[in-house]
Amino acid sequence: MIARYRAGAPPSVSVSVRDTASRASLSVFVRKRPLLDEELRRGGFDVVSTCGEEETARASLVAHEPKVTVDLSRAMENHTYKFDGVYGESATNQQVFDSAVRPMVEHLFASRGHGTCFAYGQTGSGKTMTMEGLGSGEGDNSAGIYSLVADDLFRNVRGAGGGLTVRAGFFEIYRGKCFDLLNKKRSVQVMEDEHGAQHVVGLHQSTLASAEELLLLLSTSDRTTRATAQNTHSSRSHAVLQIEVVEPASESVRCKLSLVDLAGSEWAAKAQSDDRQNRLDGAEINKSLLCLKECIRALGSQSSHVPFRGSKLTQLLKDSFVGENSRTVMIATISPCSVCCEHSLNTLRYAERVKDWQ
């Protein structure tokens, strides 16, 4: 049924992005990862079709949900979603960066703004691979968003004629508390000053001379992970890389970027974990992700109250949502495997609601 649908549908694409995405204060992109060999061995099949541009000038994808009717016959329900950009399984990290993240970096550097790029999706869907890359010698995806953003920032700093300093801090948010990943997981605090700006008090920030120095720093970090029913090496915390471009003479921040690799979302019913620590982790992760969605919805509806204090994650990202020159990019990663169809639909619904609230 999926093959027949694809035969009559627009041709699949690896990258499809709206022209206006780079000018939006909030842009939402979706990335489909390839099927894994293990998924194929277990009988899984691809249930996500990526399509080209439509009349609405939005990139789209279709999720094919396998179903069984009351008479036990097979059926399929097609769910169509439209976003600022869609990346197929053959898209590379470089392509994701060029169309989704580079415009934000260029805007922030020119306008002295704050921005956030965060990856959202179920555990094992490719968030960390998108943000960190696979490492040297791993082909087109060896460099991740962290490295590509640093390269672009240093290019802009050199183009500005020098006199600017780049510094970075790396920390995780685990169970509502912040820990410095570059300083032996020392506890740090997110606090607000008299002007309403957010600061991570106690965070160790390293001054960088090149993007290579940043990668060397990140290689020494130790993010909290745990084996779950969904993934044997699942991230249990939100990892935040904060990069600032500073004017040394005045110590004023010219631009700030927060690159966030969110912990994997999961349904409690699907986690099937008897481990109390895993259940506590999952509850805290889902609470912070729900709060993030509520904040974006409140902003989109022009509400007089935005619940940024509902979680450490949203409190930290407040500057990127409310600033005049702020930019936010969401990259939702999904698995195309039929076994993960419910999870992928959940991710797509979350991403669609975020975009609709802009």
Annotated binding site for ATP: 121-128
Q: What residues form the annotated binding site?
A: 121-128
Residue 345, SS3 per DSSP: helix
Question: Could you tell me which of 119, 86, 103, 102 has the C-alpha nearest to residue 17?
Answer: 86
Helix (H, G, I), strand (E, B) or coil at 51: strand
Residue 274 to residue 279: CA distance in whole angstroms: 8
Residues 113, 255 contacting (CB under 8 angstroms): yes
State the burial class of residue 136 (Cβ atoms within 10 Å of its Cβ: 0-12, 13-18, 19+).
exposed
What residues are paired with 171 via a beta bridge? 180, 240
Q: What is the rounded CA–CA span in Å between residue 202 and residue 178? A: 10
- Give the up-direction half-sphere exposure of residue 235: CA atoms within 13 A in the CB hemisphere: 27
Residue 194: partners with Cβ closer than 8 Å, 6 or more residues away: none
d(CA 205, CA 93): 26
Whether 153 and 245 have beta carbons less than 8 Å apart is answered as yes
- Is the torsion defined by CA of 232, 331, 152, 320 positive or negative? negative
